[in-house]
Structure 1
């Protein structure tokens, strides 16, 4: 039996795409390899949001090339966002690659693989959206985590943030029909999944292109599927987060008290240059509304430091937001110009070493805030979904997405349990089992 190995870079959408590709390969008779060196097929699923993942992909390909020394017939393929944006360029830099395909034609993997096995270069990078891409959703997912599962509800993004490559690599927004989503959720629950994670480039825009369904209506529909214990969703754009959605989050018992809401920058000047479509005040009003309806909500965000035109005063507006919101987690990065985006033509105003210092200071501030937020959990009893056992410890997450470790030895994988937190770390919690939830 042939073996495959998939290396995934990037966001939850890429992870879900890899899980779908694994499902396709399983249907073709492949089995997963524990090590890439024993694989007959290596797929590199790429990200193109920042420059660093681009470099990591090329580095990984240089390593994976060695598989052909022992297995000359082994096939190496590159897919995902970088392949969509620069597939032919990758082929020039790494001519040993056998397959290159973009984000909208993953469902063509069986035909592309057949071409490559016949000794041809299998290249398919479609500029226009392939309307048959929903064929991909018919394949099962092969997941590492048996108890939580990603479900794609929308693909693409209609926003035109000046720094972002996603609209170019993923296309316009295309929502899946609610019936298809519910059917997938039902199958996942039958397979033992307890937590459904709805994903998309902009989940809160779900249904706008269909015209007859809203995102908050989808939340209610998913919650009505028997066996769904928890619901999360990622990522939403602040402009599309409305009060109806926030009310639904508060009203539906299965929706977890956690939200990732990217702000990107705190300065109105920079937000306008990014074309984010909101001001700092408008963003903070959304945060205030969330805290009003869901007082215990945990929040995370994305921040870009050093965007073209950003001054120290602009940067301090971002720091002001961090202190006011007190996020539980922040994903912060230095600005990385993406070819073909409007921001790539904008002039940088600060030296790289200055931006690096700003980023370091921001991260250090957030570490203290995260630790402060975690300390609130000390001696509290929380609900934890046990997802795995690792090095003798059971590992799970609270409804607020906090990582929790507790002593193993209990047959509790996939169970919701009550845990008393007795130790607080900067990025995780430790506790003891109180009881299994009924």
Structure 2
């Protein structure tokens, strides 16, 4: 039987796209390879949000090229956001690549693969949205995690953040119909999934392009599917998070007490230059509402350090937000100019060494905040969905998205169990299943 290997870079959307492509390949009779050297087809699903993933893709392709020595007929394909933005450039840098396709025509993989297997270069990078892209959603997902699953509810983004390449690589916002989403949710529940993670480039804007449905309607509808025990969603834009959605988060028992809400910067001047569409005060008001309705909520965010024009005073406004909100987790990166975005034309005001120091200082501060937040769990009992077994212990996540390593009996996989926290680490918790203690 022919085998496939998929290397994925980037966000949850890319992960879900890879799971769908794995489902397509399974439908075509392929099985997963142990590693890339054992594969007959290698797919690299790419990200283009920052420069570093671009470099990682080219490095990976240089390694994968070696398979041609062992299997001359092996197919190497590149897809995803970098392929959408710079597919022809990839072919110039890596002429051994057999197949390149963009973000809106992933469902054409079977046709493109057939073309590549015939010895032709299979290249398809569509400038416009393929109206049949929802065909992708009809394929099953092949997941490593049996008990949690991503469900794409919308694609694309209508925001025009000056640093962001996503609107150019993923296109405008397109929401799926609730009926289609609920059908996929039901398939996943029937397959043993207990936690549904709704995803989109701007998931809280769901339904605005349809005009007759809202994100809160989707949340209540998914919660009504029998067997859905947990619901999460990522990623929402602060502008689209309203009080009605926050109330729904508090009212629906399956929705987990965790939210990722990117701020990107704390300075109003930089937020305006980014065209984020809110001020620091407006963002903090959303945080205040979340904590009012969901007192135990854990929060995470994205931060860009060193956006063009950012001064030390601007940076300190971000630090101020960090201290005030006390996020459980922060994903912080140094600004990376993306070709074709407005910010790429803006002059930098600080040298790279200074920006690296700012970033390192921020990360060190956040590490202390994260540890402080984790210490609040010491000795407490938490609800954990057990997702895997690793090195003799079970691993799962709390409703607040804390990673927990568990001592327990042999049949905990897939169960939602109460765990007594016995040890707190900087980035995880350890504990014992209550059943084992009684």
TM-score using structure 2 length: 0.99
CA contact (8 A) 2:408 2:433 kept: no
Partner residue, 1:309? 309
CA contact (8 A) 1:104 1:170 kept: yes
| Structure 1 residue 114 corresponds to structure 2 residue 114 | yes
Deviations for 1:161-188, whole angstroms, at most 9, x for unmatched residues?
0000000000000000000000000110
Q: CA deviation at 1:407?
A: 1.6
Deviations for 1:122-154, whole angstroms, at most 9, x for unmatched residues?
000001000100000000000000000000000
Partner residue, 1:284? 284
For residues 48 and 435 of structure 1, what CA distance do their matches in structure 2 show?
Answer: 46
| Structure 1 residue 250 corresponds to structure 2 residue 250 | yes
Q: CA deviation at 1:409?
A: 4.0
Partner residue, 1:22? 22
CA contact (8 A) 1:268 1:279 kept: yes
3-state SS, counterpart of residue 61 of structure 1: helix
Q: CA deviation at 1:206?
A: 0.1
**Any stretches of 5+ residues in structure 1 without a counterpart?**
none
Partner residue, 1:73? 73
CA contact (8 A) 2:102 2:124 kept: yes
For residues 85 and 138 of structure 2, what CA distance do their matches in structure 1 show?
Answer: 26
Pairing 1:403-414 to 2, within 5 Å after superposition = 403-414=403-414
CA contact (8 A) 1:392 1:408 kept: no
CA contact (8 A) 1:205 1:215 kept: yes
Pairing 1:198-213 to 2, within 5 Å after superposition = 198-213=198-213
Q: Give RMSD over aligned pairs.
A: 0.6
Q: CA deviation at 1:410?
A: 2.1
For residues 406 and 257 of structure 1, what CA distance do their matches in structure 2 show?
Answer: 21
Figure out how many residues of one structure are paired with residues of the other and give that number. Answer: 436
For residues 356 and 269 of structure 2, what CA distance do their matches in structure 1 show?
Answer: 21
Q: CA deviation at 1:431?
A: 0.4
Pairing 1:197-346 to 2, within 5 Å after superposition = 197-346=197-346
For residues 433 and 347 of structure 2, what CA distance do their matches in structure 1 show?
Answer: 55
For residues 383 and 139 of structure 1, what CA distance do their matches in structure 2 show?
Answer: 32
Q: CA deviation at 1:428?
A: 0.1
CA contact (8 A) 1:392 1:409 kept: no
| Structure 1 residue 148 corresponds to structure 2 residue 152 | no
Once superposed, which parts of structure 1, at least 4 consecutive aligned residues long, lie more than 3 Å away?
none
For residues 435 and 236 of structure 2, what CA distance do their matches in structure 1 show?
Answer: 35
Partner residue, 2:54? 54
CA contact (8 A) 1:2 1:40 kept: yes
For residues 294 and 218 of structure 1, what CA distance do their matches in structure 2 show?
Answer: 20
Deviations for 1:203-258, whole angstroms, at most 9, x for unmatched residues?
00000000000001100000000000000000000000000100000000000000
CA contact (8 A) 1:76 1:99 kept: yes
**Any stretches of 5+ residues in structure 2 without a counterpart?**
none
Partner residue, 1:426? 426
Pairing 1:374-389 to 2, within 5 Å after superposition = 374-389=374-389
For residues 407 and 226 of structure 2, what CA distance do their matches in structure 1 show?
Answer: 30
Partner residue, 1:91? 91
Partner residue, 1:7? 7
TM-score using structure 1 length: 0.99
3-state SS, counterpart of residue 232 of structure 1: strand
For residues 330 and 432 of structure 2, what CA distance do their matches in structure 1 show?
Answer: 28
Q: CA deviation at 1:435?
A: 3.3
Q: CA deviation at 1:406?
A: 1.1
For residues 24 and 410 of structure 2, what CA distance do their matches in structure 1 show?
Answer: 35
3-state SS, counterpart of residue 210 of structure 2: coil
3-state SS, counterpart of residue 349 of structure 1: coil
